[in-house]
Amino acid sequence: MYSASDMSPDEPDNSVFPELEVENLILPTSKLLKPPSEAIFRKQYTFAKKRAFAIFVHSKKAAASGAELSSGDLEAHWHCCEQTFKEAASIHKHVAKTHDAEIQEHTIAILRLVGSRGQARDSQPPAQSPVGEKREAWDVSLWIPDISHLTEDQLHRGPGEVLLYYCYCHLETPHLICAWQRELCQKLQLKGKVRIATEGINGTIGGSKVATGLYIKAMLSHPIFKIMCHNDFKTSEGGAHCFPDLKVGVFKEIVPMGVDPDLLSYRLAGTHLEPEEFHKEVETFLLKGNSSNDTILLDCRNFYESKIGQFTKCLAPDIRKFSYFPDYVDKNLELFRGKKVLMYCTGGIRCERGSAYLRSKDVCTEVYQLKGGIHKYVERFPEGFYQGKLFVFDERYAIPTSSDIISECRYCGTPWDQYQPCSTDFCYQLVLSCPACRQQGHTACCFVCQGKAQRKEEAGENTPAEPLLKEECECTDTRARVPCDTLPQACLQTH
């Protein structure tokens, strides 16, 4: 369990909650089995709510950056609702004011967990009670690996890697999983992003191979995630340096498609094909040539991902966000009517929800998805039908899968596939600009942004800058939010 030192200063201290015993979460469970008096229920409820509040605040604690670790500046701070809080009182006030509904839900979950534990204990004869009774999944410390036998160099130095994984499973108390994930990653000094929801978990994290190995072991030892196996974790060269920080949070969806999971479950997903099976399907599709009008090879990633790497002869929607995918399907339903669809994405998670949405429209004859995504396919078929690089959502932007370059420089047309962020303030587009063009100052995503940067430079630092909004550039103005595609153009497209 959390100790007092583990939770401070995240948990309200005794001066704020004098009755809260942080080191002892065991409620008098025998009383939970009887109809409680109003006084007993109030006491139990108050205890659980304080614990829920403390865990929620702890889940918002920010991991120390590399600079902070090296400088010794380890002052605690918290991130919540796109705000940073540097004082415990301020984060407590924010949580109490803004997240009361979540605290209430968490409180009920704690009461239910403790109540069920009490029922299980009381149903066992005393003689059969185990000496070391199993502790619950919400006991965070139980699922943190012991690293006392490792030196600092063994844990944090040496070869590194990036893990990509997801697991769809019902999580009754996602905030408890969030607290565990945050503490686990911080202890192993992993950086990256972990999204948690009642529908499961989705993560991409980097660190030393020793640290990532311990992380995988901890995941597979947790009772909730024992349904996973080692092969569910995709790996690539990298490390903690591929991410600016650690972000762990609770969301409505573990992949943001914008459709309520309660209304469209991942359980409706298409048929999963192993890389070998998917390879055979694509091979058959390509052998048919232009006569393959009964099948669509669908890339459900964003346009900037498929721009630098894709399967031969695929349909790659020109959409900027996965949350646009449902609208894309709705706008192009006739495109899919009566077709067999072969879907793929980076690691498989977007296909889970994307295929479920497509199947819900009841227009396709069959919907298949590549199990493990492009990651697993290129491991099995490095010289297969996937061409170009594999885009990743970290500071590497892409990982090599072959020597093919299917994209070109934005400015001169030279083959080029290494993304850099647009150099203009408040623009978050990515740009393909070759070294020669970058030396000439072409570092923006388009001529509109380039012009803004030049005007700012000519005006000087003391001149008030013109208002710059994130979406005000040629890249977004000239692209339809949801394009209308036609199958002949898509199927004849080869890069």
Q: Catalytic site residues?
A: 345
- As a whole number of angstroms, the distance between CA 143 and CA 131 comes to 20
Q: What are the backbone dihedrals phi and psi of residue 38, each rounded to the nearest 5 degrees, phi first?
A: -60, -40
Sign, Cα dihedral of 51, 54, 60, 62: negative
Report strand pairing: 309-311 vs 390-391. unpaired
Tokens 């790659």 belong to 316
Do 197 and 171 form a contact (C-beta atoms < 8 A)?
A: yes
- As a whole number of angstroms, the distance between CA 184 and CA 222 comes to 12
Do 437 and 420 form a contact (C-beta atoms < 8 A)?
A: no
Half-sphere CA count of 380, side-chain side, radius 13 A: 18
Q: How far is CA 124 from the centre of its chain?
A: 41
Question: Which has the closest alpha carbon to 193: 261, 158, 244?
Answer: 244
Q: Which two tokens stand for residue 386?
A: 């996937």
Q: How far is CA 93 from the centre of its chain?
A: 28
In 3-state terms the chain splits into helix, strand, coil percentages (rounded to 5) of: 40, 15, 45
